[in-house]
């Protein structure tokens, strides 16, 4: 069975004032992807907190694995002092979450915070101990396919 791994993050947490940056990685069997489109995932920013919580429970039931991490302001500040960009830090942390997934992985789709999605994908791949196909996507191309990862991240924020 091919497992599709989808990565996404809540960009609202980018900054010391708003709290930690929460990232999530969600493993979904390729045969279960259609179930995600049926549960009504929309842009998480226009959903009520109640609906996000409902969707979180539904996504959790469909996913074969979910990993979440928080990157706190102190960690971001330390990275900056060491000349590590926030995008680099995110790529490393996404890769660390991905490495915790035990299933065989067919592909990883990344919702890239970098304006050059391929660069973020390369950083991720270099930081991961696994060898798999990595696809960095950006902005409008994200669509419904990655929106559920944001719901996971926002629920855990």
Question: Would you say residue 48 has pLDDT above 60?
Answer: yes
In the chain, count H helices and then E strands: 6, 5
pTM: 0.82
| Residue 70 vs residue 140, higher pLDDT | 70
User: Mean pLDDT, to the nearest integer, of 36-40?
Assistant: 80
The pLDDT value recorded for residue 157 is 56
Q: Whole-angstrom Cα distance, residue 107 to residue 16?
A: 33
Q: Of 3, 21, 9, whose CA–CA distance to 111 is shortest?
A: 9
In the chain, domain spans: 3-156
Q: Which fold has domain 3-156?
A: Nucleotidyltransferase; domain 5 (3.30.420)
- Judge whether residue 21 has pLDDT over 80: yes
- Work out the pLDDT band at 145, boundaries 50, 70, 90: low
Q: What is the pLDDT of residue 92?
A: 94
Largest CA distance in the chain: 45
d(CA 76, CA 21): 9
pLDDT at 146: 64
Q: Residues 99, 90: contact at Cβ < 8 Å?
A: no
- Percentage of residues in the chain with pLDDT exceeding 90? 17
Is pLDDT above 90 for 104? Answer: no
């Amino acid at each position: 069975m091919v497992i599709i791994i989808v990565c996404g993050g809540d960009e609202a947490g980018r900054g010391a004032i708003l709290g930690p940056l929460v990232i999530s990685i969600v493993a979904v069997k390729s045969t279960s992807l259609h179930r995600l489109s049926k549960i009504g995932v929309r842009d998480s920013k226009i959903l009520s907190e109640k609906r996000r919580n409902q969707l979180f429970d539904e996504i959790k039931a469909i996913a074969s694995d979910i990993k979440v991490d928080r990157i706190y302001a102190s960690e971001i500040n330390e990275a900056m002092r060491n000349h590590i960009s926030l995008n680099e830090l995110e790529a490393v942390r996404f890769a660390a979450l991905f490495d915790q997934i035990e299933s065989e992985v067919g592909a990883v789709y990344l919702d890239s915070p970098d304006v050059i999605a391929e660069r973020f994908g390369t950083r991720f791949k270099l930081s991961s101990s696994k060898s798999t196909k990595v696809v960095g996507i950006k902005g409008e191309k994200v669509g419904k396919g990655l929106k559920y990862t944001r719901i996971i991240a926002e629920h855990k924020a």
